[in-house]
A and B are shown apart, each in its own frame.
Chain A
């Protein structure tokens, strides 16, 4: 595809004009040209920025404007004041006023609605009003949402959103791992809720890994910017910059969830004692592969299971999802071994065979379960 085509698609994406199909083509092109990443990031950032406007000039102009209107015998009175004199006028005026006020309250309500506090468990919602997309272990899926945003779902993951997604809000919940390429819409921020964090985006591409069985929830930002809040700490906003990865300990978020729930139900203050010094979360720089500028965190989108300095116990959990197997490691030292590599077309047997080259272990496969021992 030509460079011209690329710039047409990219500018359409920035302006919110691109269709879902065009976004998919663009994504493909960007992946083939990692060297464009830098310019893309800067242009997206540039696009979002707008300078402070000079309000005083507007205020002055409005004064002059009101004077001109008065000269033309057109006047807009402050509500209720001048009109109180005429009771008929007053009555009519007030009715309109209440109608408008009602509209405003409804609008305000929509804005205030916090997906965090208002989101009920899916089971209590009307089934028909919710769309749910799930991937089984061992399989992946690509979804296009009604607003044109594209989500790649990794194995064993679920994405849910209301039927009215895109009309008044853009809210989804994620269990598992997803790579999001979100279309720009300043009016309707795209909000992703997971068990322990909430992510607010305007338009960007990033990866979220939030499997309930994992110890950590990871958010890796490829470009654009996103705002992350940890559940029950809605006042602490973390802004991620491109090429940053946020890691949140799920335990902490869960414990606080439980305490909060307890307080809500019983009115008693509950405080589970946490170890005094413990990392709640950390922000790290994403590492780009020097050869092809790829980022390990999102390579699964390209059907690659990439691991960089990862403990075997963590890799095993990912392999379980990737190959739809159960892996049990019977030896702590083996489980702690750190590994680097990529699996692409390998079968589970080939993958284990390759790992055996680096770590001395034996394995036995019984049905779906793989037992690893020294």
Chain B
């Protein structure tokens, strides 16, 4: 998860030292997730790629002003959202799509069975549960968990209330936990039946 402190440090190096290495590091740090974010609105890989490049051109041009931003991560996401909306309206393709229509894919539901006390079956169920999340819920979950945005930043980005973000996060986690609860009961049944035999 990219951290605001890291981004601030890189932005400072870019602004004050025209440090190309720092500029590249910043690009590599944010490229993948910003592209995914742009893709969720634009639904085109090519356009998403171009948008991220445009965004970084803007960063270069405005580098001196960007060192004062409190949450640069949030700045990157709002700018990306605005640029995506502008593209859509320029193309007259569509009015601003609501978060319910965003196409989001989660990456970070990642398991290490050695570490977790989970079975293959349980992981499959969790992946399924994630896929089954309502679109808006998935967008919110992704922005908080994978992109590291604060609740109030997500609320502002999606033009929802903070309460809605809270509630949707709770729904996502409760559904994941549900997959795990079942397993616990199954395990118990297994061990008790073993004892009997």
Interface residues of A (CB under 8 A from B): 3-4, 7-8, 10-12, 14-15, 17, 35-36, 38-43, 45-47, 49-51, 53-55, 57-59, 61-62, 64-65, 68-69, 72, 74, 76-79, 93, 96-97, 99-101, 103-104, 107, 186-187, 241
Contact: A100 with B176, CB < 8 Å? no
B173 CB contacts on chain A under 8 angstroms: 7, 10-11, 14, 43
A10-B116 Cα distance, complex, nearest whole Å:
19
Contact: A100 with B116, CB < 8 Å? no
Interface string of B113-136 (1 = CB under 8 A from A): 001111000000010000000000
Stretch at the interface among B50-58, B69-77, B80-88, B89-97: B50-58
Contact: B166 with A11, CB < 8 Å? yes
Sample (23) of A-B pairs whose CB atoms are under 8 Å apart: A10-B170, A10-B173, A11-B173, A12-B151, A15-B169, A38-B180, A38-B184, A39-B180, A45-B115, A46-B111, A50-B107, A58-B28, A61-B53, A62-B27, A64-B49, A65-B27, A65-B52, A77-B18, A79-B19, A93-B17, A93-B18, A100-B13, A187-B3
A96 CB contacts on chain B under 8 angstroms: 16-18
A101-B145 Cα distance, complex, nearest whole Å:
33
| B122, closest chain A residue (CB) | A42
Classify the secondary structure of B's interface with A. helix
| B108, closest chain A residue (CB) | A50
A100-B180 Cα distance, complex, nearest whole Å:
49
Contact: A50 with B49, CB < 8 Å? no
B23 within 8 A of A: yes
Contact: A64 with B53, CB < 8 Å? yes
Query: Chain B, interface size: which category?
Result: 35 or more
B160 within 8 A of A: no
Contact: A46 with B13, CB < 8 Å? no
A65-B184 Cα distance, complex, nearest whole Å:
50
Contact: B115 with A76, CB < 8 Å? no
| B150, closest chain A residue (CB) | A17
B20 CB contacts on chain A under 8 angstroms: 76-79
A4 CB contacts on chain B under 8 angstroms: 170
A50-B18 Cα distance, complex, nearest whole Å:
31
Contact: B57 with A72, CB < 8 Å? yes
Question: Which one, A53, A64, A69, A107, contacts B9 given CB within 8 A?
Answer: A107
A74 CB contacts on chain B under 8 angstroms: 57, 60-61
A36 CB contacts on chain B under 8 angstroms: 177
| B56, closest chain A residue (CB) | A65
Contact: B27 with A12, CB < 8 Å? no
A119-B146 Cα distance, complex, nearest whole Å:
35
A65-B177 Cα distance, complex, nearest whole Å:
42
Question: Which one, B12, B19, B27, B176, contacts A46 given CB within 8 A?
Answer: B176
Contact: B57 with A100, CB < 8 Å? no
A62-B21 Cα distance, complex, nearest whole Å:
12
A57-B150 Cα distance, complex, nearest whole Å:
27
Contact: A53 with B60, CB < 8 Å? no
Other A-B pairs beyond A3-B174, A12-B166, A69-B57, 7, CB < 8 Å:
A42-B118, A42-B180, A46-B176, A61-B53, A62-B31, A93-B18, A96-B18
A42-B16 Cα distance, complex, nearest whole Å:
44
